[in-house]
Amino acid sequence: MKRALVLSGGGARGAYELGAWQALDEIGIAFHAVYGTSIGAINAGLFAQGDLQKAKALWSDISMKKIVATNEEEFSIDFNFSSKHDILPFLLDNLNHLRMDITPLETKVHDNIDEGRLRASGMTLGIMAVTLPQFTPVPMRLSDMAEGSAADWLIASASCYPIFQPKWIGRQRYIDGGYFDNLPLDMAIEDGADEIVAIDIHPVPAHAEYAQMPFLKLIHPRKTLSGFLNFKQELLDRMRRMGYYDTMKAYDRLEGIRYTFQREDALKTALPAERYLRAVARFDAESIKRRVFHAGQVQRAPLITALCQETPERALTRREVWLRGMELCAERMGFREDAIYLPEELTRRMLNYVRQTSPDVSPIVAPEALQALGSRALIRAMARTISERGSIPPELVNAFAAYPEETAAALWLCCAEGKSA
């Protein structure tokens, strides 16, 4: 069996790939080949030479000034661009930003890539680049690179034109491979990989056609991590943690979808989870029945839609429905996502909040009372209402349905506390 790792492009979000690598190393997953585009190509080069420590050091000592020769303060306006494609209109209006000097990046890559070690590793390394001005894709393997050119090819794959200048190799100019294929799965398949682990640093992964195939394990964040040129260290550290957590979840070392939880015995929550599943289904059936729609208009189950919005590609398990209720509650109450939680402890903290007395959290008696409350107070008031009445009052069903995330969270809290919902 030949197992390949494939890393996507995405600028600063490449820190997520470092976290994934740390998790794969900890789990003990071995690879025969690695492929990457753009920042994924640079990470792939470090991976192929087996240098996790050097990768950690590089990512802990990176900033815009160590990538391009520019004034970081002047460049901060670009931090929030989500992809290289979004930058072009801005650059056309700001010609002084065109073709910035990436000598610092080139120096970093040359300092960190040991070509002798790469070639001695025996691992297949592949990167994607694009020619300029022909715009022809160039899938390049280490075995096809001239001696001494490996670092230059990694730089070529990451030359995000027009913000960076193209990379000359011989008599040809090359630019970022992401303009053709930001996640070069095809290269791995062409080289005979039987099993592929793909780290895509975007919430909507590339190559949806492969997502359901049994040979592919796809690991990706559930929302955009940051602007692709935002190299602030606190954000890089956060993205690294998220990559680690998501990979651990993919291999069942941790659990959760949007949040991350230590694994626990599912039998401990089996009964409240079953109550919660019934409560959600019952509420949605009642909500749809009580709403009048025009002919042909789609009727959406509000709570089920809220619970499943993070996993549109597949159905949730019973356990995941329970965890999604906990996640919605944590999200609406403002708990951070880049942390590992003990489910029992997080449940206790959220229930303690609901039990606190406060004049703004009386049980809801009229639909208009919901509009004046923020998410935290709304969940608390909804939970109080459900607890006192034993269920959601019929006259409030439509009003609760207008706040599906908060309603799903309030129902979850009631089930977690063992009260009827």
**DSSP per-residue string spanning 202-258:** SSS-S-GGGTT-TTEEEE--SS--S-TT---HHHHHHHHHHHHHHHHHHTTSEE-SS
CA distances to 6, 196, 382 from 182, rounded to whole Å, are 10, 16, 45
How far does Cα 341 stand from its chain's mean position? 18
Summarised one tens digit per residue, pLDDT across range 69-90 is 765 444 444 444 455 555 555 4
- The pLDDT, as a whole number, for residue 209 is 85
Angstrom distance (rounded) from CA 381 to CA 303: 18
Q: In what order do the strands lie in the sheet with 260-262?
A: 254-255, 260-262, 340-341
Query: For residue 92, what pLDDT is reported?
Result: 46
Rounded CA separation 227/13 (Å): 8
CA pair distance 188, 153, nearest whole angstrom = 18
Instruction: Give the side-chain half-sphere CA count within 13 A for 221.
Output: 23
User: What phi and psi, each to the nearest 5 degrees, are found at residue 299?
Assistant: -100, 115
In the predicted model, residues of the chain with pLDDT beneath 70 are 70-100, 290-299, 357-362, 365, 420-421
Helix (H, G, I), strand (E, B) or coil at 3: strand
The pLDDT, as a whole number, for residue 74 is: 47
pLDDT score of 3: 98
> Residue type for 202, please?
H
